[in-house]
Structure formats: structure tokens, C-alpha cells
A and B are shown apart, each in its own frame.
Chain A
Amino acid sequence: MLSTLFPNVSWEDMWQATYDTLYMTIISTGATFVLGLAIGILLFLTSPHQVWANKVANFITGSLVNIFRSIPFIVLIILLIPFTKFLLGTIRGVNAALPALIVGAAPFYARMVLIALREIDKGVIEAARSMGAKTSTIIWKVLIPEALPALLSGITVTAVTLVGYTAMAGIIGAGGLGNLAFIDGFQRSREDVTLMATIFILIVVFVIQFIGDFVTTKTDKR
């Protein structure tokens, strides 16, 4: 039945592409979470009235975030080709997509981290300071736990965006479902392959959103 509706779909290719998409999404989401969180916290702590309040550091970090966030992803991939080549020695394959994915998504997520941290009641940070907490304690035991639901829903949105980015990364030969839909489906006029790849991408996105929502609600004790 499936093979009559989708005569051109190679299931082996489809699963391989799904695996590649998941691989790129998971690794880049993990790295984006860590990097974006670090940049977001830096942005927050260097903003006025915070413990590391510093106009210069805040301006530089903020500008870098804005620059990388403004570059269209497809252009960023091309710009990063020399960097990727230097880092991995190749620009092909799933790993080659990772630097661009992370550099593209981390600033985006850093902004969301900043918004999440700003939502924390200032009084709670003041209370921690009044108890004699070090800045590292405030980061690990106040900022991150108190902002966790927002941080998690933010990374869910970012992960979904990253699925879209992996599709674009297909053009540098990274593989994945987007690549399959483009090369195998569009360029060879096999609409059924494009459609099936789209269905697979949708399933991936739904699963990510479901897990994200579940974990977010679970951590929110407000």
C-alpha cells in the first residue's frame, strides 16, 4: 500500500536521512544549550545593576550576538566554510554541518536565555546575596533553577528551528531529511519523496515539541 502511494521512496534512505537529521539536531541543540546559556548568563550579569555590571563587556557581547543572529543561516553556512574546513578538514557530511548550526543557533538562544533570566524576581537574587552567596552559587543555584522552565521552552523552540537549519545544511552535503527532499525529491521530480520527507520532519518536530512541553511543565513549580 505504502509502496503504491510512495513508489519512489527508498525506506533505507529515509531512515538514514532521519537518523542524520536527528544526529545533527541533537548534537547542535546540546551544544547550543551550553553555549547559549553561557552567553546569555554573561549578557545578564554584565547588564546594569547586576553583579558584573560592565557597559563595555555587555556591549561587545550584545553586538556579537546581534550580528550572528542577523546573518541569514544560508549565508552563515557559506561564510563559515573556511572555519569548518580548518576545524574538521572537510566541509561534507553531518559533522561539517555542526559548526554552522551551533554558531547560528547559540546567539538566538542566548537572547532567549537573557529574557528568561530577566524574568527572575530581582529580590530573589538580592536574598541570595544577602545570605553571602558567591556569584557562581547564584548562577547554579538561583539563576538556572529559577529560570529553568523558560530555559527549557526556549531550547525547545531553538531545537525546532535547528531541524529547519539542518534541512538548509543539506546544501553543503550534510545529509538529512531536508537534503533528501531537495536532492532526491525536488531535483529528480519525485514528489512522493518530498512529501514523505516532509512527513518525517513533521514527526521529528512534533516529538521535540511534545518532549519540550512535558519537561517544561514538569519543572514549573510556580
Chain B
Amino acid sequence: MIELKDITKVYKTKNGELTAVQDVNLTINKGEIFGIIGYSGAGKSTLIRLLNGLEKPTSGTVNVNGQQISSISGSKLRLARQKISMIFQHFNLLWSRTVAENIAFPLEIAGVAKSERAKKVKELIDLVGLSGRENAYPSQLSGGQKQRVGIARALANNPEVLLCDEATSALDPETTDSILELLLDINKRLGLSIVLITHEMHVIQKICHRVAVMEAGRIVETGEVLRVFQNPQAEITKNFVMQVSGTKETKVSIEQVLANYPTGKIVKLTFIGNKTEQPIISQLIKQFDVEVNIVHGNISQTANGPYGTLIVQIDGENSNVVQALNLLKSNEIQTEVIEHA
């Protein structure tokens, strides 16, 4: 579907060369929501622009929809772009056009007849939930509504791929969630692939199937979102995961518990999927006669199912505690004994 091979992008600046993207290899499957996360300056903006040919790689090849985007140009590239649409952090709507006219713009570019345009525009306005606002100008819309226009506009030519350039970074948390839900809904309904870049782990957690973590132009980690959440490898990934799992604040309370209850074990449990719904704690208490003290708990929904962390103190007779830990491990719950905060 989308394949990046040995991509390097070097910019020539006044202060010498700047490598924005280095040795990137990436495959994104059809129908997948793929997230690329990184801090600003990591090269993710450049990377996403390589996918629709707004930037050309210094070396390496980019294949999208069976076309080598990195080598085509002119009318061929323009035609390919109609199937690889893009939404933006600052929406980039034409203020001189109404909502309906903005959505019609890509159809005009594609040479769609006027009557057909009107029909398609109506359909898209309903899809993104903007009925009744078709004659409003962008200046009369809220940020969330503007992004809905952006999404409708991006979907006009029935694209195979939707690129999201920090699409929710300029929105408040509530609006962000509604836009993410819309993207998830579109992905399911239309089956198109979505590639998004962001600096918010929340966005990745909420809708992405797979994620790539970028740092200084390189991809340092790739994988299923659940896997990455459960078991982050790179240091930067651990930081991103902490953004949503809230483990930063719990450090203090763990310290306190360790000090207050020197006995027993502090255990971090990570649940995935169905495991989050099992009454595992009450099972422990009943079966092994141990005390279980909950220090911190958190469940997050991801596109691949729920994901939860629970930090507990298990106290009791040593043999009982060991047995309890064994039960947890045999239940395929990732169990990590914490000795220091």
C-alpha cells in the first residue's frame, strides 16, 4: 500500500546541510491507521510530505497506491495526489469560499461536472456532520467545524490514503476526541488508510493500529500500539507512554507506599483486551489470603481494545504472595515487581 525504502531527506540551508529524515524504511498496510509520533523537529512533517510528493526524497523511494511518488511529476503526480489527500493542523481552508465551495474545490480540480459536484458535496457535508452550515464562511466556524470541512474536502475525490498533519494539535481536548472519532469512523466505513503525525500519545492511543516513533529524523521504534504501550523499548517511547498512562504522578505515591508498607510487594500489572474485564483482584484475595492495596489504576481505550495498568501492594505470608504472583503470570497478565520508585 505505502512503502518507504531507505528514505533520506537532506535540506541545504545557509548553515550547511540539515538531515530531516534519515534511513527510514516503513510499510503501511491498506485500511490501517498508522501513527507517527515525535517531538517537533523530529522530521515527521517532512516524512508525511514525502507521501504525496510535496517533498522529494534526497535518496530512496516512496510507493503509494502502486505508484512511485518519489519519481513521478507533472500531471501524473497531480493525478496521484487526488487519491492521497491531506488535512492540516491549521485547516488551510480558503476563507473566500463557503463550506460547500471549499469542499467542492478538489472536485473542481478533478474536473467533476457541476451537478455531480453538488451531489457529492451534500453527501460529504452530511458525513462530517455539518448539515445546515454549507453556506457559512470558514471565519464563522469553530476550530472543530473547520477541521470537519477539511476532512470533507479531503474525502471529496474518494482517496485511498488520508494524511493527517497534526490534525488535532490546534484543537481543545474535547474537540480533538470528536475529530478522532470521526477519523476512526471514516476509516471503518470507507476502508481508507490513514497516516497521521502527532506529538500527542493520546491521539495514537485513541485511534492508531500501529505506531512509529521518530527521533532526530530516524524511526526508533515501530509496532502495534498495544505492544508499544505495554512494552516500550526506546527511552523516548517510554516518555510518550508516560504522557497517557499517568505513571509520572504515581511515582510519588509508590514511594509513599514503599515507605509506609515495607512489607509485601508492589506490583505493576498490565492488562490487555479481555483481561481488563476479569475480577482478578478478588480472585487473589479469596484464593491466597493476601491483602491487596490499590495504589494506582488506569484504563485506556485504544483502537485495538482496552489497555489497563494497575499498581497494587500485595501483602501476606511470603509463600502466599509468591503463589499470587504466579497466578497473575499464568493469566498472561504482564506482572512487574517494583522495588524502587
Complex contacts, A222 vs chain B, CB 8 Å: 95, 139
Would A145 and B105 be within 8 Å (CB), given that A130-B54, A133-B78 are in contact? no
Which residues of chain B (118-167) have a CB below 8 Å from chain A? 137, 139, 153, 157, 163
Q: Quick one: closest B residue to A134, CB to CB? A: B78
**Contact indicator A131/B88 (Cβ below 8 Å):** no
CA distance A126 to B52 in the complex (A): 11
Task: Give the contacting residue for A131; candidates B90, B106, B139; CB below 8 A.
Answer: B106
Interface residue? B81 (CB, 8 A): yes
CA distance A215 to B280 in the complex (A): 72
Would A129 and B109 be within 8 Å (CB), given that A121-B90, A121-B92, A142-B94 are in contact? no
Would A130 and B139 be within 8 Å (CB), given that A123-B92, A124-B92, A142-B94 are in contact? no
Would A148 and B78 be within 8 Å (CB), given that A130-B86, A131-B106 are in contact? no
Would A127 and B86 be within 8 Å (CB), given that A132-B109, A133-B78, A221-B137 are in contact? yes
Interface residue? A118 (CB, 8 A): no
Interface residue? B96 (CB, 8 A): yes
Interface residue? B270 (CB, 8 A): no
Task: Give the contacting residue for B85; candidates A131, A137, A141, A145; CB below 8 A.
Answer: A131
Task: Give the contacting residue for B92; candidates A126, A133, A148; CB below 8 A.
Answer: A126
CA distance A206 to B80 in the complex (A): 52
Complex contacts, B94 vs chain A, CB 8 Å: 124, 142, 145-146
Which residues of chain A (27-75) have a CB below 8 Å from chain B? none
Instruction: Convert A138-170 into 0s and 1s, putting 1 for each residue whose CB lies closer than 8 angstroms to a CB of B.
Output: 000110011010000000000000000000000
Report the minimal beta-carbon distance from A220 to chain B, rounded to whole angstroms: 9
Would A132 and B79 be within 8 Å (CB), given that A127-B86, A141-B105 are in contact? yes
Complex contacts, B80 vs chain A, CB 8 Å: 132
Interface residue? B82 (CB, 8 A): yes
CA distance A129 to B81 in the complex (A): 8
Report the minimal beta-carbon distance from A106 to chain B, rounded to whole angstroms: 25
Contacts A124-B94, A132-B110, A141-B108 supplied; 15 other A-B pairs, CB < 8 Å: A123-B92, A127-B93, A129-B81, A130-B52, A130-B81, A130-B84, A131-B106, A132-B77, A132-B78, A133-B78, A141-B105, A142-B94, A146-B95, A146-B96, A221-B139
Which residues in A have some Cβ–Cβ distance to B below 8 Å?
121, 123-124, 126-134, 137, 141-142, 145-146, 148, 219, 221-222
Q: 28 pairs across A/B with beta carbons < 8 Å?
A: A121-B92, A123-B90, A126-B54, A126-B88, A128-B105, A129-B81, A131-B81, A131-B105, A131-B153, A131-B157, A132-B77, A132-B78, A132-B79, A132-B81, A132-B106, A132-B110, A133-B78, A133-B109, A134-B78, A137-B109, A141-B108, A145-B94, A145-B96, A146-B95, A148-B96, A221-B96, A221-B139, A222-B139
Which residues in B have some Cβ–Cβ distance to A below 8 Å?
52, 54, 77-82, 84-86, 88, 90, 92-97, 105-106, 108-110, 137, 139, 153, 157, 163
